[in-house]
Amino acid sequence: MARKRNFKKGNKKTFGARDDSNAQKNWTELQKENEKWEKYYKDLGVIPDAEWDEFKKTCQAQLPLTFRITGSRKHAHEVLSMFEEHHLPYLTGCEFEGEAIAPPKKLPWYPENLAWQLDVSKQVIRKNEQFSKVQRFLVAENAVGNISRQEAVSMIPPLVLDVKPEHTVLDMCAAPGSKTAQLIEALHANCDEPTGYVVANDADHRRSHMLVHQLKRLNSANLMVVNHDAQFFPRIKTDKDSNQFLKFDRVLCDVPCSGDGTMRKNVNVWRDWGTGSGLGLHTVQLNILKRGLNLLKQGGRLVYSTCSMNPIENEAVVAAALRHWGVKIKLVDCAELLPGLVRSKGIDNWPVIDKNYIKREKGDEGTHETWFPPTSEESAAFNLDRCIRVYPHQQNTGGFFITVFEKVNSESNEVSKRATTEEPKEESVVEKKQKTEGGVAATATVTEPVSVKKEKLPRDANEEPFVFLSPDHPELKKCWSFYGIDDKFDKSCCLVRNATGEPTRVIYYVSPCLKDVIEANEDRLKFIYSGVKLFVSQRSDIECSWRIQNESLQIMKHHMNSNRVVDVNIDCFKLLLTESFPKFEDLEKSHIDDNFLNKMKSLSAGCAFVSVDRGEEKEELFLPMWNGSKCANLMVSKESTQELLHRLFGDEVAVQQAAAAAERKAAANLAAAESKTEEGESSSVNEVPKEPATSDDQNM
């Protein structure tokens, strides 16, 4: 079993977060050398001799800054244009201390030029004025979710998973959440109300709450976060009145790993790396993969990935799954996917080296058969060369391994030399746990297929109840009438999260496709989060005390009538961004937008909405507004206000304020996380901590 390491989880920082000076000093003192690592990979032969020096030098070098632009297509391209027009020209031909600085470059394999890489040091970013200006821009856009800081290779698995708006998607090991965010974005691509959804799972309770924090800003009603050991992920009932269980269209298994592909940022890997980690994790990884394949629909696609270069964690796991499932699964040929990505093929032969660095043979005591490479006959059938290996020196990234599985349709006439013809049945959760010691299974082979025996969750497993409201509830009926909500909106999908089951302060909304799942699985799933805020109680002395939250506006704007929607010109909108509660009498004197003023004065007090038409090429802005008797106020967060002022009006002071606020917030979060770690909090025994082995996020 791989040993647990005391990595402080506060090391995950957002844009602009400052590194702890003492930690940074200790990092620089670590020697980036490991004789066993070097011998292992030289003997393995995956890196040609002519490339070895470049490979090792790249592994020892600092990881470049990479980011991707998120959001809807119009919105994303507007942020991209801002970067390309207002920042990129000034980053070409720059010098620092007499040396030329490489300009940012787009990742050629990422769709629509929406991902970029900066091959510069942190010192340059902090001290060069042009790069410092770009950093402030990235901080402001990251704070509102328009940009995601993510390692380049971490972006690959969600892309090759090929998620569509109608798909049901399971992310089995989701924290910290950058890949999950990509899955949600794909689900919502050009579609505010997709019919599919994402179930994001993590084994560690605290990390699952961190996951919520990362994903809430995407404002998706099609997301559910749960907390289970991925090896034993429960079957999900499709509805409470049937005995049908959900099979997913897409499954992502980005499993815990030894993480030598992350050694450019997690420098402790140089000191701690040994062959024992990969051997110990192998069975956990295989169990998660097999569970994911069990939950995959026929014709569905599963991506297995690690940030490790070790074949014991990669091809050996893939081969064991192919051996177990036979003709029911196959590897997808990804050669034509992501053109521009430099990659290597998977391998089908490797030595098994134990933790004492002794070569072991199949059948030796203390070994698992699944560690060893396939036979020549299996190799011909498995097509392990279809796996993707990305090495750091190929395009200045981290190391990564990606494999795409497809569950073959039962009607398929595909012929295979593999013998298994029946889909393996699921074991009971109890039997699986009996085969484990400390979270690592004693064997990777399923010996006795049995039907699943359901273990009921304790009554207090879900911290907050999910109680759906009747669409005829008096408080909801007020909202339907006040906002003119049409009948196309599913009014039965509103819920509260309190013990009384009554709407007291907040009413949430989940997508209709998730409602049945939540109601049918209260005793099966450990719910952490689902739903976006729809209505929040504001005041009781007005016609409707419930205001619609900004989180749900992308949905609700399609279902409300125009009675409380007010058009505003761009000059008046700027005033609303810069001035809180502008008085109607002042607006009347300025004549900045008489149509806006007249419409606002005609409305009753309460929540209204402003619409800013910016032309066909740019995204329409649709935001909530509070209408009072003598004044109005735009209900937008401070971060969003600063970002809009910068993006729409070029306000540099606003972006500086946003960067400073984000840095203070990140520092506070870091201090809180480190405090909790020092108090003795640790990851679940059943799953090796994934933070030292994740490439989702990067340190600044």
Contact yes or no for 364/301 (Cβ under 8 A): no
| Whether residue 3 has pLDDT greater than 70 | no
pLDDT score of 159 more than 80: yes
What is the DSSP pairing of strand 197-201 with strand 168-171? parallel
Q: How far is CA 280 from CA 263, 283, 352, 438, 667, in A?
A: 19, 7, 12, 11, 35
Closest CA to 106 of 141, 137, 58, 64: 64
Token digits for 3?
Answer: 């040993």
pLDDT at 326 over 70: yes
The domain spans of the chain are 40-151, 153-172+233-455
The two three-digit tokens of residue 415, written as one number? 């012929």
What would the pLDDT profile of 209-241 be if each residue is shown by its tens digit?
Answer: 889 988 988 999 999 999 999 999 999 999 887
d(CA 511, CA 249): 18
pLDDT of residue 18: 41
Nearest Cα neighbor of 448 from 433, 421, 426, 430 is 426
Question: Which of 172, 168, 403, 409 shows the shortest CA–CA distance to 291?
Answer: 172
Number of helices (H), then strands (E), in the chain: 23, 29
Residue by residue, DSSP assigns 629-666 as: SSBEEE---HHHHHHHHHHHH--HHHHHHHHHHHHHHH
The mean pLDDT value of the chain amounts to 84
- The DSSP call for residue 608 is E
Residue list, annotated binding site: 173-179, 202, 229, 254
Quick one: pLDDT at residue 467? 94
pLDDT of residue 659: 65
Question: How far is 369 from 360, CA to CA, in rounded Å?
Answer: 11
- Cα separation, 452 vs 432, in Å, equals 10
Question: pLDDT tens for residues 239-293?
Answer: 887 789 999 999 999 999 999 999 999 999 999 999 999 999 999 999 999 999 9
For residues 308-340, b (16+ Cβ closer than 10 Å) or e, as one string?
Answer: bbbbbbbbbbbbbbbbbbbbbbbbbebeebbee
SS3 173: coil
| Sheet with 115-118: strands ordered across | 105-106, 115-118, 65-69, 147-149
Provide the pLDDT for residue 440: 38
- CA distance linking residue 524 with residue 141, whole number of Å: 38
**E-assigned strands of 56-98?**
65-69, 95-96
pLDDT of residue 449: 30
Which residues are 407's β-sheet partners?
329
Amino acid identity of 501? G
* Long-range CB contact pairs, 23-27, < 8 A, 24+: 27/267
Q: How far apart are the first and last CA of the chain?
A: 32
Average pLDDT for residues 336-350, to the nearest whole number?
Answer: 97
Q: Which residue has the tokens 């990969």?
A: 278
Distance CA 146, CA 133 (A): 17
> In angstroms, rounded to a whole number, what is the distance separating the alpha carbons of residues 108 and 397?
13
What backbone phi and psi angles, to 5 degrees, belong to 359? -70, 130
Dihedral, 105, 110, 115, 118 alpha carbons, nearest 10: -30
Given the residues 59, 253, 257, 307, select the one marked as catalytic: 307
Length of the chain: 700
Tokens of 678: 């020092």
pLDDT of residue 152 exceeding 60, the answer is: yes
Give 177 or 428, the one with higher predicted confidence: 177
Residue 332 pLDDT more than 60? Answer: yes
Which has the higher per-residue pLDDT, 456 or 182? 182
Question: In which band, very low, low, confident or very high, does the pLDDT at 431 lie, cut at 50, 70 and 90?
Answer: very low
- HEC string of 318-364 equals HHHHHHHHHHHEEECCCCCCCCCCCCEECCCCCCEECCCCCEECCCC
Residue closest to 289 by CA, chosen among 403, 135, 212 = 403
Q: Give pLDDT, residue 129.
A: 81
Helix/strand/coil (H, E, C) string of 359-381? EECCCCCCCCHHHCCCCHHHHHH
Question: How sure is the predictor about 411, in pLDDT bands with cuts at 50, 70 and 90?
Answer: low
Contacts of 29 (CB under 8 A, 6+ apart): none
pLDDT at 1 over 70: no
Catalytic site residue 257? no
Radius of gyration of the chain (CA): 27
Q: Which DSSP state fits 216?
A: G
Six-digit token pair at 58?
């790249």
Which of 155-159, 218-222, 418-422, 545-549 has the least mean pLDDT?
418-422
Binned at pLDDT 50, 70 and 90, residue 696 comes out as low
pLDDT at site 442: 34
Average pLDDT, stretch 10-19? 42
- Please name the amino acid found at residue 36: K
Please give the residue that has the higher pLDDT: either 422 or 542: 542
pLDDT at 263: 96
Q: Has residue 522 got a pLDDT over 80?
A: yes
Q: How confident is the model at residue 90 (pLDDT cuts 50, 70, 90)?
A: confident
> How far apart, in whole angstroms, are the C-alpha atoms of residue 383 and residue 414?
14
Instruction: Report the alpha-carbon distance of residue 597 to residue 600 in Å, rounded.
Output: 5
The string of pLDDT tens digits covering residues 25-81 is: 454 567 899 999 999 999 999 999 999 999 999 999 999 999 999 977 778 899 999
In whole angstroms, what separates CA 147 from the centre of its chain? 13
Place of tokens 């005793």: 523
Q: What CATH architecture does domain 153-172+233-455 belong to?
A: 3-Layer(aba) Sandwich (3.40)
Of the pLDDT bands very low, low, confident and very high (cuts 50, 70, 90), residue 463 is low
Instruction: Name the binding residues for S-adenosyl-L-methionine.
Output: 173-179, 202, 229, 254
CB contact set of 678 (below 8 Å; sequence gap of 6+): none
Please tell me whether the peptide bond between 256 and the residue prior to it is cis, using omega within 30 degrees of 0: no
Overall average pLDDT of the 365-387 stretch: 97
Residue 695 is predicted with a pLDDT of: 55
Provide, rounded to the nearest whole percent, the portion of the chain with pLDDT above 90: 64
Give, to the nearest 10 degrees, the angle between helix 73-86 and helix 129-143: 170
How far is 523 from 328, CA to CA, in rounded Å?
Answer: 31
